[in-house]
Amino acid sequence: MILEKVIDRVVIQSEYKDFVNKYIDHLLAEFKDKIHSIYMCGSIPKGTAKPFQSDADFTIVCVNPNDIDYEKLSAIKDRLLEEYPVVTKIDTVICSIDDVLNKPNEWGFWVKIICVCVYGDDVGEKVPPIMISPDFILDLNTETKEEVDRIIHRLLSHANDRTMTTRLIKGYSKRLLRALYSLVLENTGVWEDDMITMKNAILKYCEIDSALVEYLYACYLDSHVPVEEFLAIADEGYRCFENALNRMAASRTSFN
C-alpha cells in the first residue's frame, strides 16, 4: 500500500498569508543562496488554522544545513512572532537534499508525504513512492528515542518555567501519539495529521491501555499538569511503543 500526500494543495487563510509570505521573504533575504526549497505542514497550509492558537511549521531543504545560522534564524522568528501574534509559535526544521533523497523512509517521508512545497523546486517529487511496511515503520522511528530524550531533558531543565513546560508537555504528547499511530499504519493505510482521528485509530488498532492514550490526548489539548505526573505516564506510553517496535523488528528478523 502506497502512502498518499497529507496536503494535496496549499490553502492558506487570509489571516496568515502576509505572515507566510514575509517569513519566506526574510529567509530568502538572509539565506537565499543556501536554500534549495521551503515547505510547510500542519494547519496553516491546510487552511484549518485557528488564530492565536495554531503554530507555523516550516522545513528548509538545503545543500548543507550547517550553512543556516540558527541565531539569525531565531532572530527572524522573534521579529515575526512579535509582528504577527496570530501565530503562537514558529517551528523550522532544516535538512539536506541528500537527507531527503537518501533517507526516503525518514526525511523523504517528511518532505514527500507530510509537507507541501511553498518555495523552490519540490525535492519530494524525486522521492520514490513510499510503501507501508514494517521496514518503513521501523525506519520512520529511527530517531524517536533521541527526540524523546531531548524533550525530557528540556522538560526537566525548564521545570520552573510553566510556560515552557506546558509547551513541551503538549509537544511530547503529540510526538508520542504520532509514534503510536505509526504502529497502526498497516491497518489505516494513510498518514493522519488530525490528532483526534489519530487517537481513535490508536485506540482501535493498538494494544495499549485506552486510559493512557486518552491521558496523552488530554495533555495535548491542555498541558497544565504536573511535570512529574506527566513524565511517569508518558514513560509508560513510550515503553509500550518501544516494546511494540521491538516485536516488529524481531518478527522481521525471524521472517528474513
Q: Where are the domains of the chain?
A: 14-131, 138-255
Angle at 143 between CA 142 and CA 147, to 5 degrees: 155
Per residue in 159-188, pLDDT tens? 788 888 988 999 899 999 999 999 999 999
Return d(Cα 9, Cα 46) in angstroms, integer.
Answer: 8
Across the chain, mean pLDDT equals 93
90-96 sheet: strands from edge to edge: 90-96, 56-62, 35-41, 116-120
Quick one: pLDDT at residue 223?
81
Question: Which residues, 6+ apart, have CB-to-CB distance to 209 below 8 Å?
Answer: 240
Query: Residue 158: its pLDDT value, please?
Result: 86
Q: Band the pLDDT of 39: cuts 50, 70, 90.
A: very high
Q: What is the pLDDT of residue 256?
A: 53
Residues 119-143 have a mean pLDDT of 94
The pLDDT tens digits of the residues spanning 69-78 come to: 999 999 999 9
What amino acid occupies position 183?
L
Helix (H) or strand (E) run with residue 234 in it? helix 227-255
The CATH fold of domain 14-131: Beta Polymerase; domain 2 (3.30.460)
Confidence band (pLDDT; 50, 70, 90) for 151? very high
Confidence class of residue 41 from pLDDT cuts 50, 70 and 90?
very high
Q: Is the pLDDT of residue 252 over 80?
A: no
Which residues make beta-bridge pairs with 37?
61, 120
Whole-prediction pTM value?
0.84
Place of cell 490553502: 11
Residues 186-235 pLDDT 10s: 999 999 888 999 999 999 999 899 999 999 999 999 888 999 999 999 99
